[in-house]
Structure 1
Amino acid sequence: MKLIHMLKSTLLLCLFLSFSLPASAATVAAADTLVLGMGCFWGAEKRMSEIPGVIRTEVGYAGGSSTSPTYESVSKEGHSNKPATHAEALKVTYDSQVTTLDKVLAAFWQNHDPTQGNRQGNDIGSNYRSAIFYNSASQQKAALQTRDIYQQALSKAGLGKITTEITPLKAFYPAETYHQQYLKKNPNGYCGLGGTGVAFPGNTVAAPVAAAALDGKKLATQQLVVFESEVCNFCKAFEKDIMSQWKSDVSIAKTYATKAPVGWALKEDLWATPTIVLFENGKEAARYTGYDGNKQRFWRWLGVQTLSAEQRKIAFEKGTEMPFTGSNLDNHAAGYYVDPVSGERLFRSDKKFNSGTGWPSFFDPLPGALVLKEDTSHGARRTEVLSASSGIHLGHVFDDGPPPTGKRYCINSAVLKFVPDKKDKTI
């Protein structure tokens, strides 16, 4: 009985110990760390945390002389051209029983562009440099060996020399709490990280595909290009709000590339996504950086770039064209009158009538096409008519129109674009 009791006690003790040990105890025992610089540490953390065998990531700063770096100070340093500046860095903890140092380094090489010097994609400055901060002779050896292997692959693909800094880790300073796991906490956050598209030889994990630049020969003389990134909910919002309903006459295309279309030129590097660039004859004419959900702000920007001086005065300054001068005044063809910026339909031609006032007049707009606003300018009390899509000023509405509405929408011809029905032969 004593023997049985002792066996039971031993078994209970073993069970107690097994349940008392942390679940990750074996993993922790086999864990190793490596500090890497890959550009914006938000994107670096997202990419490397998805690698099989990586059990923990932490963003911070390394490589500089300051002992109390902050995000603001490191960003400022990065543009100062001073020596010994910190880089945005990522501490990767991995389970050596699941993966190897070489596999972690292969993922590092594949998931950013190590040939760019003091920048990474749209992010410019020494704080965005590519770097490996090793903490042992074995890590240094692996860094140099994998660098040489990847350089051969890059050279074969026609790409340049690796500029990655390989240096001993002096200290790693964790970044502010709000930067940790930033893209998980802020899925709308910007991620400017991109690889070369060249796989590390022998690596079973596919390299991120580098987006090819658009072909300028296949684009329009006046062309909008939306520069996006894969991890960018602002880009998705722009797609949903604007591009999916695109009716404007201006041609639009989108790309994940960070370069201008082939044969075309940007005035300066891109630094955020989405960036919408208007090209004229292959050269950047204007750009709209970022998208915060304000649709009318974007349309106003496009209108300023594409409308004539007369149209801009009416659309944005509440101007009025001279009566009996508008090109659409005596138009009687069948079709739709649309917003000249967004292309959205405003009025149908069968709702147009001759008011004798000298401006195109309509008695009924299309549902949801307009926004009405009180106007007390010029000492009068009137109701302003604006386009619901772009927000541009169109004219005013009065209560002296024909049945059945009794309304007269008095609209400036210059801010109406007429689109005839395809079957109409009178135009």
Structure 2
Amino acid sequence: MKKIIAAIAGLLCILTAYAMEKNVTPIDRNSTIKTDYIVLGMGCFWGAEKRMGEIPGVLDVESGYAGGDLPGVGYQQILNHERMLSAGRTTARNHAEVIKVTFDPAKVTLETVLAKFWENHNPTQGDRQGNDVGSNYRSAIYYHDAAQQDLALSTQKVYQQALNTAGYGLITTEILPLKNYITAEEYHQNYLQKNPNGYCGLGGAGVKYPASNPKIAQTNVAADAATATRMKPLDGKDLNFAQQLVIFEAEQCEFCKQFDEDILSRWQSEVPVVATLNANPPTGWVLEKPLFAAPTIVLFRNGKEVTRYTGYNGEHTNFWKWLGFQLLSPEQQKVAFAQGTEPPFTATNLDEKRPGKFVDPITGATLFLSQAKFNSGTGWPSFFDPVEGSVTLHDDHSHGMNRIEVRSASSGIHLGHVFDDGPPPSYKRYCINGNVLKFVPD
């Protein structure tokens, strides 16, 4: 008897652990909660699973496949089938990537679930969602009873009116009875929890589902207008054709918010930059390949992508190093990233005496003011004081010497060294490589 009880207890532990891993509330056999579910297609199911799982009252979101003619398939078979469809080698309808949303009707209504469905993707794009192209990425609502069908159609009508007001086209979402649902492979489940830097792909149209409460609707107007503006495609004619950075972001993207706080809010670089929630390139411009994650920072030159930086998780020096390799000459890169030293008396700004400031050549942050510059006779630009907080100091034991290295606080690049033989009032000599200083006259 004890062995049977122990076995049951062990099984319950396994089920509880599995439920925790799946972000599902463990089943309470004594619970009287009645749950419901609906199956939705919103493009790539990774982002859809995360977005819909954040709704209070949603108990579980499972990635899967549904709506096709194939009774049993997997991820690779669906991709292969889409290629066959594109080549005209089959007419069998492919499955869509979907999520099965299980919810507690006592805590969240189906209308609320469907409202978030409409808001969290763009239902006007046909067989695609953003840069994910194919019938397997179509927008879909697969219902299991007449009440769900009626509500799906009525919410579609309401949201279509909101889209019309915002200037969007017709909704292409298919609303059909659920058929051939298949649970996706385990590695697809809770994908963005397992891979925080993974691809999301959802941006939405920036149009809120009209709230039934007039007060709520009124408070959403300003936010809707701002989001809708950022959702519209950028016009290449409004940007700098020769060189332009574009930050492709997504709604409710924590990494995008962190990038904005760390980098974008302090932007002083001479490179023009713009952020957008639209996953398409500026009109008339070209992306080399589809976007994979948010944020993605793309450098365009003459309307064409030349390089990109994908994802961000606080590593701001890595970002500036990436940009530095696009902006600096090989000689500058050797100093900035390999702790090199330029030959003495070669810096073009060695004898610069005009009022102004010396800035980081990548970030544009001010490092030294001209009034702190003096002629040390060493052959390198020398300063007795940096701008407060503009540089960091590090022990340097290279080449058999004990020195103090000076780096830019904003980008982390190597600038030079500091010595204790300078003039008053600091008696310091910041011996800096002129090639990694940009002079900006007052």
TM-score (ref. length: structure 2) = 0.71
Q: Give the RMSD, CA atoms, in angstroms.
A: 4.2
1:61-100 alignment runs, 5 A limit: 61-63=64-66, 74=75, 76-77=76-77, 79-81=79-81, 87-93=97-103, 95=105
Q: Of residues 195, 212, 215 in structure 1, which corresponds to 2:204?
A: 195
**Measured at CA, do residues 100 and 400 of structure 1 come closer, stay the same or move farther in structure 2, by a change above 3 Å?**
closer
State the partner residue of 1:39: 43
Q: 1:287 aligns with which of 305, 308, 311?
A: 308
Structure 2 matches for 1:113-128, cutoff 5 A?
Answer: 113-116=122-125, 119-123=128-132, 128=137
Structure 2 runs not aligned, ≥5 long: 1-27, 83-91
1:213 matches 2:223: no
Moved more, 238-247 or 368-377: 368-377
Using the alignment, how far apart are the partners of 1:137 and 1:200 within structure 2? 22
Amino acid at match of 2:99: A
- The code of the aligned residue for 1:80 comes to N
Indicate the residue corresponding to 1:18 in structure 2: none
Q: 1:115 touches 1:164 (CA, 8 Å); kept in 2?
A: no
Partners of 1:216 and 1:91 in 2: how far apart? 39
1:9 alignment partner in structure 2: none
Q: Distance in 1 between matches of 2:53 and 2:421?
A: 67
Alpha-carbon distance in 2 for matches of 1:277, 1:155: 31
Residue identity opposite 2:398 in structure 1: T
**For residues 159 and 375 of structure 1, do their structure 2 counterparts lie closer, same or farther at Cα, with a shift above 3 Å needed?**
farther
Cα distance in structure 1, aligned partners of 2:282 and 2:343: 42
Superposed CA offset, 1:63-96 (max 9, x none): 27686x8xxx63x455434575562422344639
1:80-159 alignment, distance < 5 Å: 80-81=80-81, 87-93=97-103, 95=105, 108-116=117-125, 119-123=128-132, 128-136=137-145, 159=169
User: Which sections of structure 1, spanning at least 5 residues, go unmatched?
Assistant: 1-20, 422-427
1:389 Cα offset (Å): 1.6
- Structure 1: how far apart are the matches of 2:393 and 2:131? 39
> 1:371 aligned to 2:375?
no
Deviation at 1:238, TM superposition (A): 0.9
Flag the 1:114–1:355 CA change in 2: closer, same or farther, 3 A. Answer: same
3-state DSSP class of the match of 1:247? coil
Q: Which residue of 2 aligns with 1:396?
A: 417
After superposition, residues 378-417 of structure 1 pair within 5 angstroms as 380-417=401-438
SS in 1 for 2:251: coil
**Counterpart check, 1:239 vs 2:254:** no
- Point out the more displaced range, 310-319 or 379-388: 379-388
- Percent identity between matched residues is 52
1:173 to 172, 177, 183: 183
CA distance in 2, matches of 1:382, 1:365: 18
Give SS of 1:217's match: helix
1:373–1:385 CA contact under 8 A, matched in 2: no
1:99–1:386 CA distance, 2 compared to 1 (3 A): closer
Q: Deviations over 1:159-208 (max 9, x none)?
A: 3772648464234537759945967x999886432334578899889797
Counterpart in 1 of 2:382? Answer: 361
Q: Are the equivalent residues in 2 in contact too, given 1:143–1:166 (CA < 8 A)?
A: no
- One-letter code of the match for 2:179? L
* 1:350 shift after superposition: 2.4
1:323 matched to which residue of 2?
A: 344
Contact 1:277 1:287 in 2 (8 A): yes
Deviation at 1:396, TM superposition (A): 2.8
Aligned residues: 389
- Paired AA for residue 195 in structure 1: G
Matched residue type, 1:173: T
- Report the CA distance shift for 1:288/1:216 in structure 2 as closer, same or farther (over 3 A): same
CA contact (8 A) 2:233 2:282 kept: yes
Aligned runs of 1:264-283 on 2, under 5 Å? Answer: 264-283=285-304
Q: Equivalent of 2:61, from 34, 58, 62?
A: 58
Q: Which amino acid aligns with 1:212?
A: K
Q: Are residues 351 and 61 of structure 1, via their aligned partners in 2, closer, same or farther at CA, if it must alter by over 3 Å?
A: same
Tell me which residue corresponds to 1:226. Answer: 247
Distance in 1, Cα, partners of 2:106 & 2:425: 79
Output the CA distance in 2 between the equivalents of 1:420 and 1:268.
40
Instruction: Give the residue type in structure 2 aligned to 1:60.
Output: S
Do residues 249 (structure 1) and 270 (structure 2) align?
A: yes
Deviations 1:357-377 (A, max 9, x none): 221112332333233341414
Separation (CA, whole Å) in 2 of partners of 1:198 and 1:300: 37
AA of the residue aligned to 1:376:
S
Structure 1 23/243 Cα, relative in aligned 2: closer, same or farther at 3 Å? farther
Partner Cα distance (1:401, 1:109) in 2:
65
Distance 1:223 1:41, change over 3 A: same
